[in-house]
């Protein structure tokens, strides 16, 4: 028995589809990592995605996420992650306020890239993730170079995420695959930097190596949960 494994908390709901993917992947990784029928304890607080998206400022979004973090802390969670990339724009503030250990998806992606010896990365995600500097600087702090798609591609990827993938619709999967193929000779790997993207694209679908941000994050959460 592994009685010393910390309880993991997850802020989900942003979107529900990606939270489902997180939980499925959590199960898969646990089955690979641990003895039969052993899964670390996991508590999920699922935000109301409509409410979250309609809050007009990041300060209001921060307060809403903190409600979820406090609920997870009250449930005994000692290690907490946000199951979405874009809200990491306020990760430093959340980390300062949380009583539990917060695990950054950006750091998890960076460590996975370094483990696989990638240095020049294509970043796919929401428009905010691709155009703001929080993600790029976070990766650059790890010594990594970051490329983002063109302006038109950014708009289309953002549309696909919010209008299709957030509802489990894979209608534009071929567009995403062709985009990855176009960048294949320019970068070492592509980051699926929105946790809906792995719903449509998996490693091996294209020649370009992929970093699944959700999978890297779950691995990091489990590693922190195992630390004494």
Give bridge partners of residue 147 from the DSSP assignment.
122
- Statement to judge: residues 14 and 99 lie in one domain: yes
112 and 67 housed in the same domain = no
pLDDT at 228: 84
Tell me, what CATH number does 135's domain have?
3.40.50.1860
Nearest Cα neighbor of 80 from 108, 111, 104, 101 is 101
Q: What is the pLDDT of residue 2?
A: 61
In terms of residues, how long is the chain? 228
Q: Are both 111 and 198 inside the same structural domain?
A: yes
**Residues 134 and 184 grouped into a single domain:** yes
Looking at the structure, tell me whether residues 20 and 118 fall in a common domain: no
State how far the Cα of 137 lies from the Cα of 146, in Å rounded to an integer: 9
pLDDT of residue 123: 98
Shared domain for 113 and 34, answered yes or no, is: no
**Coil, strand, or helix at residue 191?**
strand
**82 and 115, same structural domain?**
no
Q: Give domain status of residue 72, yes or no.
A: yes
pLDDT in tens, the chain (228 residues): 466 899 999 999 999 999 999 999 999 999 999 999 999 999 999 999 999 999 999 999 999 999 999 999 999 999 999 999 999 999 999 999 999 999 999 999 999 999 999 999 999 999 999 999 999 999 999 999 999 999 999 999 999 999 999 999 999 999 999 999 999 999 999 999 999 999 999 999 999 999 999 999 999 999 999 998
Task: Please give the tally of structural domains in the chain.
Answer: 2
pTM: 0.95
Q: What is the DSSP secondary-structure string of 89-105? A: GGHHHHHHH-SSEE--H
Q: Is residue 3 part of a domain?
A: no
Q: Are residues 80 and 112 in the same domain?
A: no
Q: What is the domain extent for residue 86? A: 8-104+216-226
Long-range contacts of 133-138 (CB under 8 A, 24+ apart): 134/88, 134/89, 134/91, 134/106, 135/85, 135/88, 135/106, 135/193, 138/88, 138/104, 138/106, 138/107, 138/110
């Amino acid at each position: 028995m592994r009685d010393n494994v910390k309880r993991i908390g997850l802020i989900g709901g942003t979107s529900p589809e990606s939270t489902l993917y997180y939980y499925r992947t959590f199960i898969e990784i646990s089955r690979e990592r641990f003895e039969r029928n052993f899964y670390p304890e996991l508590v999920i607080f699922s935000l109301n995605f409509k409410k979250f998206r309609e809050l007009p400022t990041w300060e209001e979004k921060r307060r809403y996420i903190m409600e979820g973090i406090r609920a997870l802390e009250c449930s005994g969670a000692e290690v907490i992650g946000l199951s979405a990339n874009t809200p990491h724009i306020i990760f430093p503030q959340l980390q300062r306020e949380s009583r539990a250990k917060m695990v950054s998806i950006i750091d998890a992606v960076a460590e996975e890239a370094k483990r696989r010896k990638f240095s020049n990365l294509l970043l796919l995600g929401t428009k905010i993730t691709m155009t703001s500097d929080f993600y790029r600087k976070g990766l650059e702090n790890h010594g990594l170079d970051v490329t983002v798609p063109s302006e038109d591609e950014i708009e289309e990827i953002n549309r696909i995420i919010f209008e299709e993938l957030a509802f489990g619709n894979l209608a534009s999967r071929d567009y995403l695959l062709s985009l990855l193929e176009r960048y294949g000779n320019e970068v070492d790997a592509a980051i699926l930097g929105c946790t809906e993207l792995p719903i449509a694209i998996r490693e091996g679908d294209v020649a370009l190596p992929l970093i699944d941000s959700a999978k890297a994050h779950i691995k990091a959460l489990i590693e922190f949960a195992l630390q004494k």
